[in-house]
Amino acid sequence: MRNSYTLITVLILISVGFAIGLLFGSSNLTIQDFINTITTKTNSGHAMIIWDIRMPRIVIALFVGAAFALSGALLQITTRNPLGDPQLFGITGGALIINALAVSGILTVQIWQEMSIAVIASILGSGIIYYCSSRDTVKPATLALIGFSIGAMSIAISTGIMAYSRVFTQQALGVIGGSTANLTWDNFTPVIPFFILGVVISVIISNRLHVLVLGDTLAKTLGVNPKQTRFFAISAAAILSGASVNIVGSIGLLGLITPHITRIIVGNNVKTILFYSIPFGSLIMIYSDQISRLIFMPYEVPVGLIITIIGAPMMIYLAWRHL
């Protein structure tokens, strides 16, 4: 019952964030303007602002937040590592490089092809984490250090590509720091099948993940193949985070802090953490995106910067009290 109230509260807060995103900006709209637009569409200017500019940005923020959060939850559960995060583990490095190549004009393919290449690159990058996490001798801190090194190298390569191609500073910041600015429905459409695929894989293996947290030895006794389960979980995390990075760029800490917050609020049940990480991730992302959009209006700051400013102190507190 308590978790049901939690879910209702989170959904209400997301709805408020949705309304803020639609009504406020360089051109403020009233609720009546919004109602008139969605019912009669008499004002073409308002219709363009709502349907073509603000709505796709909000929807992308919701999906990306959910994807990063679920990806982080999968990594933390699978590797039994509290530092599990797509960016920190370097899983998004391949997708980030693909994004940088596309922004620089070096990679010129259709948006669906770009998304597919980015996801494949992310899956390939996750192979290192899968290999390390399958070895009993690798400590959690070592795994995090390896992933951090891969991620740092990917950011350096991406920055070098954009510097060489003389990409505009604002575009480069959008890739490295994350941004939902100027995104349209065309940017959103390709992420849908990958998001669905990642969620479906997570649902299918959720029962096995529940057993996997007990340890590989006991999991084998109960009929669960640890390596196979870990492979599918890390692959799902790579699909979700790789597709997200290809749209909005690199966003750190979101996949790290959301599962911890979820765990504190709803408990330690694996299925519950996976399910509730989705709305919690959307909640954090949508408010962070609105802050990045409105705080220095008409200028914007990278949404990843806002999440880091909010998430870093929160993570310090969580580490001090619960890790």
Q: Token match 């959060």: residue?
A: 69
**pLDDT for the residue 29:** 83
pLDDT tens digits, one per residue of 220-279: 888 888 889 999 999 999 999 999 999 999 998 899 999 999 999 998 899 999 999 999
- The mean pLDDT value for 198-208 works out to 94
Question: Does the bond joining 279 to the residue before it have cis omega, within 30 degrees of 0?
Answer: no
**pLDDT for the residue 322:** 53
The pTM score is: 0.93
pLDDT tens digits, one per residue of 36-57: 877 776 677 888 888 888 999 9
pLDDT tens digits, one per residue of 71-127: 999 999 998 888 888 988 889 999 999 999 999 999 989 999 999 999 999 999 888
Given a cut of 70, whether residue 136 has pLDDT beyond it is no
Contact in structure between 99 and 249 (CB atoms under 8 Å): yes
**Residue bearing the bigger pLDDT, 317 or 59:** 59
pLDDT grade for 323, boundaries at 50, 70 and 90? low
Contact in structure between 277 and 258 (CB atoms under 8 Å): yes
Q: In the CATH hierarchy, which fold is given to the domain comprising 2-322?
A: ABC transporter involved in vitamin B12 uptake, BtuC (1.10.3470)
Share of residues in the chain with pLDDT > 70 (%): 97
Average pLDDT, whole number, for the chain? 89
Q: Token match 């609020």: residue?
A: 265
**pLDDT for the residue 284:** 96
Residues in the chain: 323
Q: At CB < 8 A and 24+ separation, what contacts does 215-219 make?
A: 216/136
Given a cut of 80, whether residue 141 has pLDDT beyond it is no
**pLDDT for the residue 42:** 65
Ordered by start, the domain boundaries in the chain are 2-322
CA torsion through residues 241, 246, 251, 254, sign:
negative
**pLDDT for the residue 299:** 83
**pLDDT for the residue 286:** 96
- Report CA-CA distances (Å) from 233 to 49, 76, 200, 255: 39, 10, 11, 14
- Beta-carbon contacts of 284 under 8 Å, excluding residues fewer than 6 positions away, are 65, 69, 254, 257, 258, 307, 310, 311
Q: How far is residue 194's CA from residue 214's CA, in Å, rounded to a whole number? A: 29
**pLDDT for the residue 95:** 94
